[in-house]
Structure 1
Amino acid sequence: MTSPGRATIRATVCGSSCSIPRPGRACSAYLMEVDAAVFVVDLGSGAFANVIKHRAAEALDGVVITHMHADHFLDVIPLRYALKYGNRSNGKRLALYLPPGGEPMLRRLVAAFAPEAGDDFLGDVYDVRTFEPSRALRIGAATLTFAPTAHYIPTFAVRCAVGTASIVYSSDTAPSLGVTRLAKSADAFLCEATLTRQEEADTPRGHCSAREAAEMAAHAEVDRLVLTHYPATIAPAELAAQARARFSGPIDIADDGYTLKV
């Protein structure tokens, strides 16, 4: 999927489960390596242990959280402890990019279990920032752009690009025209596949089935579809079969440790 001399993105899935983890699998987290930049998009419960299989905590240049559900952000807490008591030789704080409204929510959580720490609990290791969804975010050579999704709380899909290479991550969403537009012509589309076919009729809802993820991929004309954020109740072979009925390109089923380079 890459050409000589072309700037590349390497994405490693460090958490491929939905909010109910599959046995031995973590919740949402995606380690992105773009040129010299190393950052994580989402860091759900249990995922930090997988991140440090690939990169030391001190090597990270940033963490981007797409929305404030525990299966997408909770492991910023163990990462905080790793940075606080690890080998952070330069003393530089790690950029933690939260969605609008995310910082007060995170501070309330911290206040509940570490009231004695105050603002220093986050501030001694994190440079907490709120990203603006309407503006591009730069982390090293990578440019991140966002689109709101169709979820229960404010949530943002992310397009990571460098040069002509791009990977789009849906975060959590029901079928969404905005997410489809963000994914237009991407090299790879990491899309959630939480629901069964039977659950497609549920209302309200904030998730996709594999079939619906494939429909978005087809409309966006992406090169490759990678299904992620799926439960233990749907076999990977069934996910792939549903998706193949709607998308003719390559289809992968993400698992913890899956790596993609574009």
Structure 2
Amino acid sequence: MPLTLTVLGTASPHPGPGRPCSGYLLRGGGAEVWVDAGTGTFAELQRHTDPARLTAIWISHLHADHSADLLAAAYAFAFGGLTPPAPIPVYAPQDCARRLAGFFGRSDVRGLSHVLDFRPLYDGHVVQHWNLRLSTRAVVHDAEAYGLRAESQGSVLAYSGDSGPCAALGELAVHADLFLCEADIDEHREGEQVHLTPEDAGRVARAAGVGELLITHVGPTLGRETATARAAVIAGRPTDTAREGETRTV
């Protein structure tokens, strides 16, 4: 199975008509991983696969536009007839399980342990599912946050999650075939670097020597095409916009 990326949603910080928040379906090496579960992405996930067949779920950070649809998935798996054959590993920041339990008025998620298996992420976390290797690095944000490097059969995809400029981001992206990178903001506020501008994304892509830059998670002060064009000027390599429903082979 080649490494492919299907875009489920890209919106920031809230969904719009036909545009859910951040979420992607990563397939490769016999595995299917739901990467980020932003608002509206669980419905889109069902267009492309049976969620009960997921190998794993990977969550970059716990802001709602990257994680809120874990609740929809929990209801589907526990009560909606989409029960997986074994608990699905959920790789996420430490507090994820407790927050989800809170929606059910509980102090822990033991009631969901038959469908979801929460495993905390940390800087340097590595896991292998079949022939798909997932490596995690901590990145700079205003919450515990991680970027992802996915490798399968010689193909490499890097994903920024939400991040400000930082060395870890470049390390994740080095020589990646496809770099899926946020460009959330038009410019940095003084003293605040918790997201990337299009120019930041372009600089990381250029320095890391990626094959292609794919711009995503563009905020409301920027248009997607404008952000992509600005990033392309700096990146000096093929640069495109992530669009809902599209699948790319890495």
Could you state the TM-score of these two structures normalised by the residue count of structure 1? 0.88
How far apart, CA to CA, are the structure 2 residues paired with 1:120 and 1:136? Answer: 25
Corresponding residue for 1:235?
223
Alignment partner of 1:219 is 2:207: yes
Alignment partner of 1:168 is 2:158: yes
Question: CA 1:177–1:119 in structure 2 vs 1: closer, same or farther (change >3 Å)?
Answer: closer
Corresponding residue for 1:15?
9
Contact 1:225–1:252 (8 Å) recurs in 2: yes
Contact 1:21–1:231 (8 Å) recurs in 2: no
Alignment partner of 1:61 is 2:49: no
Identify the match of residue 86 of structure 1 among 60, 74, 81. Answer: 81
Aligned-partner SS, 2:235: coil
Alignment partner of 1:107 is 2:75: no
Measured on the aligned residues, the alpha-carbon RMSD in Å equals 1.9
Alignment partner of 1:136 is 2:131: no
Contact 1:131–1:137 (8 Å) recurs in 2: no
Aligned-partner SS, 1:178: helix
How far apart, CA to CA, are the structure 2 residues paired with 1:97 and 1:114? Answer: 20
Corresponding residue for 1:75?
69
**1:105-154 deviations in whole A, cap 9, x for unaligned?**
x424532x322696344323111111343231112211111221111112
Aligned-partner SS, 1:246: helix
**1:195-235 deviations in whole A, cap 9, x for unaligned?**
01xx2243223100111101110000100000001124322
How far apart, CA to CA, are the structure 2 residues paired with 1:201 and 1:117? Answer: 38
Question: CA 1:125–1:109 in structure 2 vs 1: closer, same or farther (change >3 Å)?
Answer: closer
Corresponding residue for 2:91?
97
How far apart, CA to CA, are the structure 1 residues paired with 2:106 and 2:121? Answer: 28
Output the amino acid matched with 2:143. I
Alignment partner of 1:35 is 2:23: no
How far apart, CA to CA, are the structure 1 residues paired with 2:127 and 2:153? Answer: 15
Corresponding residue for 1:259?
247
Question: CA 1:118–1:207 in structure 2 vs 1: closer, same or farther (change >3 Å)?
Answer: closer
Output the amino acid matched with 1:237. E
Corresponding residue for 1:150?
140
Equivalent positions of 1:183-194 (< 5 A) are: 183-194=173-184
5+ unaligned residues in a row in structure 2: which ranges? none
Output the amino acid matched with 1:11. L
How far apart, CA to CA, are the structure 1 residues paired with 2:42 and 2:153? Answer: 29
After the TM superposition, which of the residue ranges 146-155 and 133-142 deviates more from structure 2?
133-142
Query: How far apart are residue 180 of structure 1 and its match?
Result: 0.7
- Count of aligned pairs: 249
Contact 2:122–2:138 (8 Å) recurs in 1: no
How far apart, CA to CA, are the structure 1 residues paired with 2:84 and 2:211? Answer: 41
Output the amino acid matched with 1:88. T
Output the amino acid matched with 2:19. R
Corresponding residue for 2:45?
51
**1:169-209 deviations in whole A, cap 9, x for unaligned?**
0001111221112110000000000001xx22432231001
How far apart, CA to CA, are the structure 1 residues paired with 2:82 and 2:60? Answer: 28
5+ unaligned residues in a row in structure 1: which ranges? 1-6
Could you state the TM-score of these two structures normalised by the residue count of structure 2? 0.92
Question: CA 1:183–1:251 in structure 2 vs 1: closer, same or farther (change >3 Å)?
Answer: same
Percent sequence identity is: 30
